[in-house]
A and B are shown apart, each in its own frame.
Chain A
Amino acid sequence: METVFYTLQWIAVPLLSPGVLGLIRKIKAYMQGRRGASIVQPYRDLAKLFKKDEVVSPDNSWIFSAAPYIVFGTTLALAGSVPLVAAFPFAPTGDILIFVYLLAAGTFFLALAGMDTGGGFGGFGSSREMMIAALSEGGLILALVAASFLAGANNLAIMPDALSAIPLSELLPLFLAAGAFFISLLSENARYPVDNPATHLELTMVHEAMILEYSGPKLALMEWAASNKLLIFIAVFVNIFFPWGLASSLAPAALSLALGIFLLKACAAAFAIAFIESTMAKFRIFRVPDLLFTSFVLSAIAILLIVL
């Protein structure tokens, strides 16, 4: 049963993830007084891209061709192990460090692909992406470590159960860590105020600059992998740092209730992201480290509160 569920998550995450993107765009549109495109627009975009031919540069190597599969594959490998509606001990990639470093492996190849075409944009995108990734890693790891200290477990799939049993009054460190993790979520997923996901302006783009030379199915994979990653981060954010409402049994009623709660929590997170994107200006690139160090300091304080 667990393995069935594990397999189902491999399918559910890629199926749901473009919807999350559509939802964020929709909320943003409403907040900016527009009607905006339909929530299913990202699905249409992906379908369109999969039908298109591809243009590749003669300068690039197999890294460029392999990167979309590796980036998408690593998000798939994590999709089964993050808690969505219920927590399973069967999670081979659920260890917090494996979570962080598998994502880093995806970023590694993404950045290499950005450099492979030899255009001016790709290289700068990679440079900025690696700077942001390197600096947000500290906060990301320590935030998850804080949660794992509270839970007494290192596996994402086991942590929600242990955390939800802790009385609310003792969860202050967890919420500090939640703040730290949310900053990492924004920076790792190329959202405001670190990166602007909607622009192709050379001075501001980071993630889009790296995938600028992609087209057709490979571009679709890259975009899709980015939305998978966003959903995975949101799932960890709402289920580890707000660990209530997961199904405790595999009964259909409990599962559907848990699914409802998860969707609500995910919508709230999407709203938070959209709210930030509508009310805040993007940071200058050299102010981003301040934000990332804030994330690091927050999670370090959380850890000290737990262990001292």
Chain B
Amino acid sequence: MIDFLTQFGFFTTFACFLGGAAIALAYGAWGADHESWILSHFFALSGCVVGLLFAGTVLFSSGPLSVHLPITLGIGPDILTFHIDNLAAFFLAAISVVGIAASLFGIGYGKHFLGTYRLGGFGFFYNVFLASMVVVVTAGNGFLFLLAWEAMAIASYFLVIFERREAKNISAGMLYLLISQLGAGFLFAAFLILFRYTGSWDFEAIRLGAAGIPLIAQNIILALALIGFSSKAGVIPLHIWLPEAHPAAPSHVSALMSGVMIKTAIFMLIRFFIDFFPGAGLSWGLIIIALAAVSCLLGVLYALSEHDIKRLLAFHSVENIGIILLGLGASISFFSLGYNVLATLALVAALYHTINHALFKALLFLSAGSVVAATRTRNMEEYGGLIKIMPYTAFFFLIGAIAISGLPPFNGFVSEWMTFQSLFAGIMMLPVIAKIVFLIGASSLAFTGGLAAACFVKAFGAIFLARPRHEHRGAHESSFLGLVGMGLLALLCAVFGIAAGAIAPVVARVAESLSIIPIEIPAAPLQALGGTSIAMPSVALVAMIGIALTGAVVWIVAGRRKIVVSRTWDCGAPLTPRMEITATGFSRSIIMVFRGLLRPSVQTDVEFHDSQTRYFTKRKEVQLSLTDMYYAYLYRPAITLVEHSSRHARRIQTGNLSTYLLYMFLTTITLLFWALR
């Protein structure tokens, strides 16, 4: 089995994806939309299962593998080289797990689109999207990487605009494509400069030649890479496409985009800052921590102000990318000062949070997707009481909410704990400037945890609890396969929390394989920092015992008390859903506390029964919205600048034939001069 996987596993994965893509198109063209949808998702599912097995083989048994296809594509030799080291296998595993859950969920999700849209194209792009993500993390050279990176962007663009009859989705897709291409431009520049100095696209050659690159060029490459990858990861202020594109896509695609696609940028940041340029410099570590601190705090604050469930989750991706980057920045800082053990542990924190975020964010997007499918709206103010209609979905959402809020014993807590420990170690040991930056990072993380909990109390409360605010006619529980997908992710959230002691060493091996200087792997990373340790199983056990004991004692003491069912008391007024707190109302107080940062604007619209005396309100509408500062102060000026300069550039376009002939003449002369010089 293992022999088969090491030899053919990689190709089988691709064969599944390509087969899925081809079959989707074939059935789609033939008009069998439903079959096309189901088969393409089934093929994607099998591809992910094989991918997961293959990643497991690389991680646990065979070690790094290289795959080479002697196909030139007419570009040059050695283009189709893949190199699957531990880091690539780790990300491949993350992509596969989320891919499995998303495809399971997707199989049952197709009937919502049946008859509305042609489904063949969707299955095609879905499989291409998965395949290109796999290539992105396994590519062995820059050329293939850029090719796959672009394919990933374009395939996901078509998935984002799948529901193309809503104009908003088209503009969301356009914004996403623009930012993607802008970021890709920086990456092309980075790789071209790398090629200029190392003479090779190959990652291995780049790794060997990187030390010889002059320092200024190194910093330029790193700056370009940081900007390019930040735009994909959604680091503030390049995050603006996330809250537009994630809601537009069908939910299992959002799960993939938010769960794993933006993580490929993290993967490449690790490649650049730790693999290619180890010890990139303390200042790069500190810059990343500062960016991360801003991203996680502002990300969660923007999430709080949202009442569109999928936009809310998208902003939480911004927040969690910030948390991952806190660990990564700490790791870079430690590496550059030679604290290799600490650096590895900080990298473990970043990697662990990467997989954790993939798990719980995918879980939240899938469960939000079933809510959206059941109620046909993304507006949280119209939900309420859904826990009675969709109990399983509610339970899974709750687990995702607890995990993302960083509460023990689930997985979010473990990686936040590790990140905290890395930051604390930095505050204790690094030079003064670094201490202060690390302290800012730790403070930001401390507030982020609490605010995320507040945000998910709001989200869970508004969606699932109390009475429905609208009649949800035809609302129903998610499909069985959808529940299986969510259940799988929820289970993994628990396992990655409680069994952290067993999983962290595996992650540590991934991190350790990247460090140039061999270091001792600490037996259990959960115990390694400053001699502190936590044992998640006993934390979980103690909490369970506490809850069970309470239940048992109360049952013995007061188990036979009568329970009377009676309406909630509301001062005698007739009880309507309007008395429940709204999602907007819930977060208003926190938004008001941070009004200097968020610039909220409140618009009140009141209609009175008695327009003269104005005592009795008939209808009141309050709109709480935030100024989009990034658009107003960053993107709007940039757009104006581009438009303005285009208008000036337009003047050379006279429409007069002789002018064009003059241009041609001048160009020829210049070229001739240049060539014969």
Contacts and interface: CB of A to CB of B under 8 A. Distances in A.
Interface of A: 50-63, 68-70, 72-77, 80, 92-93, 95, 97-98, 101-102, 104-105, 107-108, 111-112, 115-120, 122-124, 126-128, 130-131, 133-138, 141-142, 145, 148-149, 152-155, 213, 216-217, 221, 285-286, 289, 296, 300, 303-304, 307-308
Contacts of B456: 108
Interface in B549-594: 549-551, 554, 557-558, 561-570, 575, 577, 579-581, 585-590, 592-593
Contacts of A60: 465-466
A154 B567 CA distance: 47
A65 to B, nearest CB: 10
B388 interface: yes
Interface stretch (B210-218, B278-286, B471-479, B530-538): B530-538
B466 A116 contact: yes
Given A57-B565, A115-B457, A92 B539 contact: yes
Given A119-B579, A142-B446, A213-B568, A112 B545 contact: no
Given A55-B564, A153-B532, A307-B435, A131 B589 contact: yes
Given A117-B568, A118-B568, A133-B454, A138 B443 contact: yes
Nearest to B559: A217
- Of B432, B546, B567, B589, most buried by chain A (CB within 10 Å of CB) is B546
Interface string B404-436: 011110000100110010001001100010011
Contacts of A108: 402, 405, 407, 453, 456-457
A118 B451 contact: no
Contacts of B534: 95, 97-98
A105 B408 contact: yes
Interface residues of B, number: 85
Given A124-B581, A130-B453, A53 B564 contact: yes
Contact of A137 (B388, B450, B581): B450
Given A122-B581, A130-B453, 17 more contacts: A53-B562, A54-B561, A59-B568, A68-B550, A95-B534, A98-B539, A116-B461, A116-B465, A119-B569, A128-B589, A130-B590, A135-B447, A149-B428, A289-B593, A300-B439, A300-B443, A304-B436
Contacts of B561: 51-54, 216-217
A33 to B, nearest CB: 33
Contacts of B428: 149, 307
A217 B558 contact: yes
Contacts of B465: 60-61, 63, 112, 115-116, 118
Contact of B543 (A63, A74, A97, A118): A74
B617 to A, nearest CB: 15
B551 A77 contact: no
> Which of A62, A137, A213 has the most chain B CB atoms inside 10 A of its CB?
A137
Given A77-B546, A80-B542, A112 B460 contact: yes
Q: Return the 6 tightest CB-CB contacts between A and B, nearest first.
A: A123-B581, A73-B547, A118-B466, A134-B450, A115-B461, A73-B546
B80 interface: no
B449 interface: yes
A146 B334 CA distance: 22
Contacts, number: 255
A59 B467 contact: yes
Given A61-B465, A73-B549, A145 B542 contact: no
A95 B467 CA distance: 39
A57 B447 CA distance: 34
A111 B457 contact: yes
Given A73-B546, A77-B543, A134-B454, A56 B405 contact: no
B170 interface: no
B108 interface: no
B387 interface: yes
Contacts of A216: 558, 561
B457 A145 contact: no
Contacts of A77: 539, 542-543, 545-546
A77 B409 CA distance: 12
A19 B647 CA distance: 78
Interface in B579-634: 579-581, 585-590, 592-593
A131 B405 CA distance: 14
Contacts of B562: 53-54
A47 to B, nearest CB: 10
A137 B550 contact: no
A69 B446 CA distance: 27
B530 A101 contact: no
A127 B589 contact: yes
Nearest to B440: A300
Q: Identify whether the interface residues of B are mostly helix, strand, loop, or mixed.
A: helix
A104 B461 contact: no
B461 to A, nearest CB: 3
Interface of B: 384-385, 387-388, 394, 402, 405-408, 413, 416-417, 420, 424, 427-428, 432, 435-436, 439, 442-443, 446-447, 449-451, 453-454, 456-458, 460-462, 464-467, 530-535, 538-539, 541-551, 554, 557-558, 561-570, 575, 577, 579-581, 585-590, 592-593
Contacts of A57: 565-568
Contact of A118 (B545, B548, B580): B580
A120 B466 contact: no
A221 to B, nearest CB: 7
A97 B417 contact: yes
B546 A54 contact: no
A153 B533 CA distance: 10
A62 B398 CA distance: 12
Nearest to B413: A101
Contacts of B547: 69-70, 72-74
A221 B550 CA distance: 9
A308 B438 CA distance: 13
15 contacts: A53-B562, A55-B563, A61-B388, A63-B387, A93-B543, A95-B532, A115-B457, A119-B570, A122-B581, A127-B589, A130-B586, A131-B589, A134-B454, A152-B530, A153-B530
A153 B531 contact: yes
Nearest to B443: A138
Nearest to B447: A138
Contact of A56 (B424, B467, B565, B587): B565
A61 B464 contact: yes
A102 B450 contact: no
Nearest to A61: B387
Nearest to A95: B534
Contact of A115 (B570, B581, B590): B581
Nearest to A217: B558
Contacts of A52: 561
B457 A130 contact: yes
A122 B538 CA distance: 33
A303 B442 CA distance: 12
Given A57-B568, A69-B550, A116-B465, A92 B450 contact: no
Given A105-B407, A131-B593, A216-B558, A112 B532 contact: no
B301 to A, nearest CB: 10
Contacts of B570: 119-120
Contacts of B407: 101-102, 104-105, 108
A118 B589 contact: no
B585 A58 contact: no
A123 B443 contact: no
B563 A127 contact: no
Contact of A97 (B384, B420, B453): B420
Given A61-B387, A286-B592, A303 B587 contact: no
A15 to B, nearest CB: 13
Given A153-B532, A303-B427, A104 B457 contact: no
A51 B558 contact: yes
Contacts of A119: 568-570, 575, 579-580
B247 to A, nearest CB: 24
A75 B545 CA distance: 11
Nearest to B542: A77
A249 B269 CA distance: 52
